[in-house]
Amino acid sequence: MKKTIFVSMLLAVAAFAAACGGADTGGGSASVGKEIKSGTAGNNLTATLSNADGVLRKGKQTVTLKFADQSGKPVDVGAASLNFHMPAMGTMATMNNAATLTTTATPGIYSGSVDLEMSGEWQAQVSYQGPAGSGKANLPVTVQ
Ligand SMILES: [Cu+2]
């Protein structure tokens, strides 16, 4: 009885691992969490910012940046950057919180680490240069 349960659990874990592996290589179905914002980034590409719950918050966090073609398939753009910008307002100086981007197992999908110093309206400034050409995207985002 106990052995049967253990084996079923192993099978469930194996199935889960297989599903995850499939998602990594499945192009448009790659798991990137929930979308925060997306926009055109030149060269027929769309840049999409996402994270686990689709909400940016003040403080340290991880975000996913994906470049995709018209069909949603990730496209390797080479060198990419992501900066969160807030224009000066009154006595408050301009703010620039750059994300540290690292590549993931899926070319075209980057993982970003950023510390957003305040809540409010920001512009996520995306740029890239590489095999797909060079381009930029400015995505208005709200930080809670
Ligand atoms: Cu500010």
pLDDT profile of the chain (144 residues), mean per 10: 51 45 42 93 98 98 98 98 95 96 97 97 98 97 98
Query: Could you tell me where the beta strands, DSSP code E, fall in the chain?
Result: 34-40, 46-51, 59-68, 79-86, 95-103, 109-116, 120-130, 133-143
Check residue 30 and give its pLDDT. Answer: 55
pLDDT for 38: 98
pLDDT, residue 32, reads 85
In whole angstroms, what is the distance from residue 129 CA to residue 135 CA?
Answer: 7
Distance 124 CA to ligand 1 centre (A): 13
Give the global pTM: 0.79
Amino acid (one-letter) located at 106: T
What is the greatest pairwise CA distance in the chain? 70
Cβ–Cβ under 8 Å, residues 133 and 42 = yes
In the chain, where the domains are located: 1-31, 32-143
Position 2 scores a pLDDT of: 54
Q: Closest by alpha carbon to 103, among 22, 24, 19, 28? A: 24
- 63 C-alpha to ligand 1 centroid (Å): 20
Calpha distance 38→114 (Å, rounded): 18
What's residue 3's pLDDT? 57
Find out if CATH 2.60.40.1930 is the number for domain 32-143. yes
**Paired tokens of 121:** 């309206």
Q: How far is ligand 1, taken at its centre, from the CA of residue 88, in Å?
A: 7
Mean pLDDT of the chain: 86
Whole-number pLDDT of residue 16: 45
Q: How far is the CA of 135 from the centre of ligand 1 (A)?
A: 26
Phi, psi angles (nearest 5°) of residue 70: -60, -30
* Cα distance between residue 48 and residue 35, in whole Å: 7
